[in-house]
Structure formats: C-alpha cells, structure tokens
Amino acid sequence: MLLSTAYARGRRAFTLIELLVVIAIAAILIAILVPAVQKVREAGSRLKCINNLKQLGLAIQLHHDAHKHIPESYAYSSQGGPGPFTGRGWILKSLPFIGELPLYEQFDPTLVGDMTAGGGLQTPSTLPLMKTQMAILHCPFDSSFSAFSKIQNQWSGIEVATTNYKGVIGVSNMGGGWPVTPWETKYNGGVKWDNHGNAQPNGMFFRNSYQVKICFSNITDGLSNTFAIGEDLPEHNVHGAAFYSNGDYASCHAPLNYMPTPPDPTNWPKIMSFRSRHPNGSHFCVADGSVRFVSQNIDRLTYMELCTRAGNEAAAIPQ
Amino acid sequence: MRLRRTTVWACLLILLLGCGSSNWGTATGTASLDGEPLQKGTVSLEPVDGGAIAYATITANGSFRVMTGSKEGLQIGKYKVTVVDQTIPDMDSNEVVKLLTPAKYADSATSELEATIKPGRNTLEFHLKK
C-alpha cells in the first residue's frame, strides 16, 4: 500500500536531462580526481627512487665505518693492477650493508679466480646469483628495466640482474667519446682526459678502485659537493650488470639525461653516463648521504666539477 | 555582445603574452660532409656563455633534432657546434675512438661551426668539408 502511494506521489524514472546532468557531474569529478591520483602515484614512485639512493648512500657510510674506506671494485682483467680480477663491483661489496648479508655470503666463496678465465663472478655456481633482481636497484620510473638483462657487456647471452643506480667515476671522457669538454678545457689544457681503465679516475667508483681504497678524508672537494651515485637506464646502456665492476659506474662526460634516439646502448664511449625518466633531470646521492634532484639544464662545467672528489673546483650543487 | 567580444580578445592577449617571454627554442636541421648527408653521428651544441650542452643524433638522411637532456629543444643564445661521427672501439682494449669526420669539427675550439638559437623554431645546416 505504502509503496504504491510513493509511486503515485513521486516520479517513476529519471528524465533524460537528469541522467545527463548526473553523467556530467560524474565526468567532472573523474576529470578532477584521476590526474590527482596519478600525481600522487608519481610522487610515490619518485619517493621510492629517492629512498633507494638514500639506502645505497647509507650503505657506503656503513661500509666506511666497518672497513675505513668506501666499497671498492675489482677489475675483470689486468690493467696495470695486481688483482684479483674477479669482476666484483662496489654494489656487491655493499650488500651486507643493505640487509643482504645472506646473498653476499652466497657470492663469497666464488670471489676468487679471474673472471675472464671462468672464475670470479663467472664461476658457474655464481651465475644463478647474478640473476638476483633487487627492488633497491630499480627506479619505478624505468618501465623497461628488466628487459635488457641478456645483452649486458661481457655477459652476452647470460641473464644477469641490472641496476638503475651507478657509482660516479668522475669526468673520464670514456674512450674519448665526447668532444673536448669544458672541464678538459679548464683543467686539462683542452686535451681529452680518459682514465676509466686504470686507477686514476677522479670520482668515487671505478673498476680498479681496489688499488686506491678511497676514504672520506680523500674527498677533499667536500662530501656535500661531490656526487657519489647517480641514475642510469639499461635501455640506453648495456653496461648495467648490477654486481659487476664494469656495469656499476658511469661518467659525467656526457650531458645529464643524454638519450639518443633511437637508443645506442652499445656505443659505450658516448653513453656510459647518467640519465633517468624523471622529467627534466635526475637524482644523485651526494657523498654526505643526502639525495638531490639535479636539473638537466645544469651548467655543464658545474655538473662535471661536482663529479670529481678532489678537484679543488669549489663547485656547489645549484639550489 | 560587446562585453563578450572584449573578454575573448583579452583572453587571446593573455595567451599570446604567455608565449612571448620564452627562453626556449626548438631546432632541426641537416649535416653533410662534402655534399653527402652524414648517415650517423652526433651534433653537440655548447653554449658560449656556459649552461647545459644540447645535442642531436644524426639519422640516415643527415637530419637531426636538437635535445637538451630528455627534453626537445634548447635554451636560446649562441652556441659553438661540433659534428662528430666516430668508431666504437673494443672496450677491453685501450683503444680510443677514431674519427670518421674531419678532426677540425670535433673540437669546439677549432670547429668554427656556430648556431644562434631564437625563440620558436630554428633550422640549422652544417656542411662539413674534408
């Protein structure tokens, strides 16, 4: 009885206009909310990336506390150094300090022998470990991340984990790949400066750094004026094997976010540099442990000066 | 009616003013060696007064599009330009890159190639000679 009275008094259905108004309001609400949600998700991804860099920076500090120097790398073959040539990189050396001691201990027995002779990191029992993909080495902005793991330099056909984070070798002009840089003009008499294959690089991480064992007191440009770790994309650079001393560093010789189109990932003299998918720049972990966003419009000389550990350049990170 | 037309003009004016104060330009162009278009290589644009380096990758027909980092275009101003095509040496050796283009154009101190970028679209032509 009550029901039929209600029907009689009110209307039985929405009119077309009412329906359209409701749809319009819903559309406006979605239009407002969806970009907001995307923005929040993007901010979350950025925070994750910053956090990864922060953790790696902390690992460097903890390693320094424990060993009195920052994590070092071991080259894969003799290049004037005494060895061992295991190919162990600084990220592998940092594993115990990012809560991955068990993984490090699995690697540990195989960290002998020459890599190029089937020892070191290419010991058959170690190869499965090389596939360990770690979230802390992945920037969520890089969607192409894991697709390039079988074409890494010196690991062709072998599946290895890759990293979005690379140590800063300094300003080494890799194989002379870039025209004379402003740093070379100012500090090296206009002559190209390439030391990636020996123990002379002027940054914090390079494949022969076991010969130098850099400690914080060697970073005379100041811990807050020296980049330690930056970002890279495996899609653009096949030197990205995560635990390997020839895949865990990059140089500041090329412009920040250098992204040739189409990608040219095997052209190591040009592309062993820093880049990210963050709009208009890239993050760096500074030697003091802080993480800073650096604009890709940064003055090139300043950028290069910030990548050296003891260049006496007095460069400061732009605010 | 007059009020509405005034409003429309005011909006257009604001939009135009918004575009006018740009310090950014885009640039495309072609690079050739002795009249033949280069097939590959890199154009680097170094700002004369300091700043970010811009670059372009030469594609098969000699054409290129200038980028600064991951963004298309570059800051307005004067640039010294180098044009380089080179080999990729074996990383395990101590080799360095070998130039396939004349050495003169590989160093901004000797290249003599220049570009002045204005707001809006720019067209660049670099004709190298052996």
Do A204 and A168 form a contact (C-beta atoms < 8 A)? yes
On whether any CB of chain A is under 8 Å from the CB of B120, the answer is no
Q: What is the pLDDT of residues B4-31, one digit of tens each?
A: 666 556 555 555 555 545 899 999 999 9
Predicted pLDDT of residue B6: 62
Residues near A91 by beta carbon (within 8 Å), at least 6 away in sequence: A56, A71, A137, A163, A165, A242, A243, A248
- Cα within 13 Å of Cα(B126), Cβ side: 31
In angstroms, the separation between the Cα of residue B91 and the nearest Cα of chain A is 8
Region of B51 (left: φ > 0; alpha: ψ -120 to 50; beta: rest) is: left
Do B73 and B67 form a contact (C-beta atoms < 8 A)? yes
Query: Cβ contact (<8 Å) for B53 and A269?
Result: no
Query: Cβ contact (<8 Å) for A179 and B84?
Result: yes
pLDDT less than 50: residues of chain A: 1, 6
Predicted pLDDT of residue A58: 97
B65 contacts in chain A (CB < 8 Å): 261
**Tokens (6 digits) for A241:** 């094997």
Predicted pLDDT of residue A1: 46
Q: What is the CA radius of gyration of chain A?
A: 25
User: What is chain B's mean pLDDT, rounded?
Assistant: 88
Domain regions of chain A by residue span = 30-306
**Tokens (6 digits) for A306:** 């910030």
Do A115 and A86 form a contact (C-beta atoms < 8 A)? yes
Location of structure tokens 């885009």: B26
Q: Please check the confidence at residue B2 and state whether its pLDDT lies above 80.
A: no
DSSP annotation of A278 reads S
> What is the distance, to the nearest Å, from the Cα of residue A130 to the centroid of all Cα atoms in its chain?
18
Query: Cβ contact (<8 Å) for B109 and A275?
Result: no
* Other beta carbons less than 10 A from residue A312's beta carbon: 9
Q: Which residue of A has its CA nearest to B85?
A: A177
Predicted pLDDT of residue A165: 97
Q: Please check the confidence at residue B95 and state whether its pLDDT lies above 90.
A: no
Residues near A139 by beta carbon (within 8 Å), at least 6 away in sequence: A45, A48, A49, A52, A145, A164, A165, A231, A276, A277
Predicted pLDDT of residue A109: 87
Return the SS3 of B106: helix
**Tokens (6 digits) for A301:** 């000389």
* CB-count exposure of residue A158 (10 Å: 0-12, 13-18, 19+): middle
Predicted pLDDT of residue A83: 84
Location of structure tokens 């950025």: A46
Identify the structural domains of chain B with CATH numbers, from first to last. Answer: 23-128 (2.60.40.10)
Q: Provide the percentage of residues in chain B whose pLDDT is more than 70.
A: 84
**What is the distance between the alpha carbons of residues A263 and B4, in angstroms, rounded to a whole number?**
51
**Amino acid, res. A245:** S
A238 phi and psi angles, rounded to 5 deg:
-80, 10
This prediction has a pTM of: 0.89
Do B56 and A259 form a contact (C-beta atoms < 8 A)? no
